[in-house]
Structure 1
Amino acid sequence: MDEKTNVMRILEKKKIEYKSYSYIDTDAISGIEVANVLKQDPRQVFKTLVTVGKSKKYYVFVIPVEKELDLKKAAKSVGEKSIEMIKSKDLLPLTGYIHGGCSPIGMKKNFTTTIDLSANGFKTFIFSAGKIGYQVELSLDDLRKIIKFQLADVV
């Protein structure tokens, strides 16, 4: 793969090994379609969601593509009364990423990040490389070298 995303450059700068995938020459849109195109277990392919709490603080959740974020569990995991998804139009100015290409690595600011507990069940997991059509695969331990996150049951 010739094209490098910011996420890949960040990983390389930190000398972190990762596997990259591309699905730019497909019609895959949903996370499940992406998992199928990449011939990966959809439970191991994660999507990055950005939410806002009642306190107006922003939170990032990384969950399996086949699941829905449980807003109650998610709010509880970050100590908020309630949270909601941010609007698509607010994503780029806030994170630097567009809908469908949002990665927990390389956002404009460091937001409180929670990864669904199920990621623990895999040696590695796959998520967006920060651009539609690109994914990276790495371990939770390697991800910890780049961003701070907690694990919680949020789906």
Structure 2
Amino acid sequence: MKTNAVRILDNLGIRYKLQDYQVDPDDLAAESVAQKIGLPPEQVFKTLVVRGDRTGILLAVIPGNTQLDLKALAQLSGDRKVETVSLKEVQPLTGYIRGGVTALACKKDYPVYVDELIELFDLISISAGVRGTQILLHPSDYLRAVKAVVGMISQDKL
């Protein structure tokens, strides 16, 4: 199945592999997805929708086994304060449902901030824009495709 996210990668000439997995609507955690596709959770990146007080909507992409460091993201994005948007806002803003959000092919071209841990890996996994399919690709290709700003924006889960 070709999603809009996959079409963007095709148009950019980026090589990738699609990996399907069984969706559990009661457990959409990145750690669960990682287990189902056979990757460590730190290589499965999740995309969070965030609102900055100055910049508006932006996307934060962090390893699946971490949580977003709001202060670090605010500093990196030039905001005084950032907060994740409510779940009911995610689909109207991005066109994607929870568990299928990706920085590729959102409704609008939002700024994308990616945690620097992405550079530790030869292969990462991101959502293909639907629940049940992940895209496996090289981090540098992903960063180029989403025009990402890279910085330390995650922290260990409390």
Task: Return the TM-score normalized by structure 2.
Answer: 0.90
Equivalent residue number for residue 41 of structure 2: 42
Equivalent residue number for residue 4 of structure 1: 2
> In 2, Cα distance between the equivalents of 1:26 and 1:127?
15
Q: For each residue in 1:49-104, what CA deviation from the matched residue of structure 2 results, as whole angstroms up to 9, or x when unmatched?
A: 01001126111100001100011111111011110001111111111111110001
How far off its partner does 1:112 sit? 1.3
How far off its partner does 1:26 sit? 4.5
Task: Return the TM-score normalized by structure 1.
Answer: 0.92
Equivalent residue number for residue 55 of structure 1: 54
Q: For each residue in 1:101-153, what CA deviation from the matched residue of structure 2 results, as whole angstroms up to 9, or x when unmatched?
A: 00011111111111100000001211101011111011232224422111100
Q: For each residue in 1:20-57, what CA deviation from the matched residue of structure 2 results, as whole angstroms up to 9, or x when unmatched?
A: 1111x343521101101111011111000010011261
> In 2, Cα distance between the equivalents of 1:105 and 1:26?
21
| Structure 1 residues 130-141: aligned runs within 5 Å | 130-141=129-140
Contact 2:5 2:129 in 1 (8 A): yes
> In 1, Cα distance between the equivalents of 2:120 and 2:144?
19
Structure 2: runs of 5+ lacking an equivalent: none
Contact 2:59 2:113 in 1 (8 A): yes
Equivalent residue number for residue 102 of structure 1: 101
Q: Percent identity?
A: 35
Which amino acid in 1 is paired with 2:134? Q
Aligned alpha-carbon RMSD (Å):
1.4
Which amino acid in 2 is paired with 1:32? E
> In 2, Cα distance between the equivalents of 1:57 and 1:81?
12
Contact 2:49 2:60 in 1 (8 A): yes
Equivalent residue number for residue 14 of structure 2: 16
Aligned residues: 152
Instruction: Provide closer, same or farther for how the CA distance between residues 88 and 131 of structure 1 changes in structure 2, counting only shifts above 3 A.
Output: same
Which amino acid in 2 is paired with 1:121? L
Tell me the SS of whatever aligns to 2:54: coil
Instruction: Provide closer, same or farther for how the CA distance between residues 144 and 136 of structure 1 changes in structure 2, counting only shifts above 3 A.
Output: same
Contact 2:3 2:128 in 1 (8 A): yes
